[in-house]
Amino acid sequence: MQFVSQIGGSVINGLAYFGSLASLGGRAAYYTFVGPFQGKPLRLQRAVSQAMDVGVRALPILSLITFFIGLILALQAAYELRRFGAIEYVSTAVAVSMTRELGPLITAIVVIGRSGSAFAAEIGTMKVTEEIDALETMAISPVQFLVTPKFLAMIMMLPCLTIWANTLGILGGSLFGVGQAGFTLRRYIAASIDSLFLRDIVSGLIKSVMFGITITAVGCLEGLSTGAGAEQVGRSTTRAVVMSIFLVVVVDLVFTALFFFLSEH
Amino acid sequence: MPEEIPDSLDSQTMISLRDLRVNYGDREILHGISFDVRHGETLVILGGSGSGKSTLLRTLVGLEKPTSGEIWIKGKNIAALSESELDEIRKKIGMSFQGGALFGSMTVGENVALPLREHTNLEDSTIEIVLRLKLEQVGLEGFEYYMPSQLSGGMKKRAAVARALAMDPEILFFDEPSAGLDPIIAAGIDQLIVELKQAFRMTIIVVTHELASAYLIADRMVLIDKGNIVAIGTPDAMRASTQPRVRQFFDRVPEPEVVRELDYLQMLTEDPRRRSESTERRP
Q: Determine whether the interchain pair B278/A224 forms a contact, defined as Cβ–Cβ distance below 8 Å.
A: yes
Question: What are the DSSP calls for A42-78, one per residue?
Answer: --HHHHHHHHHHHTGGGHHHHHHHHHHHHHHHHHHHH
Helix (H, G, I), strand (E, B) or coil at B90: helix
Residues of B in contact with A225 (CB under 8 A): 276-278
Residues of B in contact with A27 (CB under 8 A): 282-283
- Kindly report, residue by residue over A130-144, the tens digit of the pLDDT: 999 999 999 999 999
Whether chain B has a CB inside 8 Å of the CB on A231: the answer is no
- Answer whether B221's CB lies under 8 Å from B46's CB: yes
Per DSSP bridges, beta strands B93-96 and B203-208 are unpaired
**Which residues numbered 1-20 in A keep a CB inside 8 Å of some CB on B?**
20
For residue B274, name the pLDDT band (cuts at 50, 70, 90): very low
Residues of A in contact with B114 (CB under 8 A): 138, 140
Name the residue among A127, A139, A145 with its Cβ closest to that of B90: A139
Residues in Cβ contact with B195 at an 8 Å cutoff, skipping those fewer than 6 apart? none
Q: Determine whether the interchain pair A20/B283 forms a contact, defined as Cβ–Cβ distance below 8 Å.
A: no
ipTM of the complex: 0.85
What's the rounded Cα separation, in Å, for the pair A99 and A89? 16
Whether the per-residue pLDDT at B160 is higher than 90: the answer is yes
What's the rounded Cα separation, in Å, for the pair B188 and A206? 58
State residue B101's pLDDT score: 93
- Answer whether A209's CB lies under 8 Å from A107's CB: no
Q: Determine whether the interchain pair A143/B119 forms a contact, defined as Cβ–Cβ distance below 8 Å.
A: no
pTM: 0.87
- Kindly report, residue by residue over A223-253, the tens digit of the pLDDT: 999 988 889 999 999 999 999 999 999 999 9
Name the residue among A129, A137, A139 with its Cβ closest to that of B119: A139
For chain B, give the percent of residues with pLDDT over 90.
Answer: 50
What's the rounded Cα separation, in Å, for the pair B96 and A130? 11
Q: Does an H or E element contain B87, and which? A: helix B83-90
What's the rounded Cα separation, in Å, for the pair A132 and A125? 9
Q: Determine whether the interchain pair A130/B62 forms a contact, defined as Cβ–Cβ distance below 8 Å.
A: no
Whether the per-residue pLDDT at B1 is higher than 60: the answer is no
**Which residues numbered 134-173 in A keep a CB inside 8 Å of some CB on B?**
134, 136-143, 145
Nearest-Cα distance to chain B for A31, in Å, is 9
- Kindly report, residue by residue over B221-255, the tens digit of the pLDDT: 999 988 899 999 999 998 888 888 888 888 877 66
State residue B57's pLDDT score: 94
Higher pLDDT, A123 or A230: A123
Whether the per-residue pLDDT at B270 is higher than 80: the answer is no
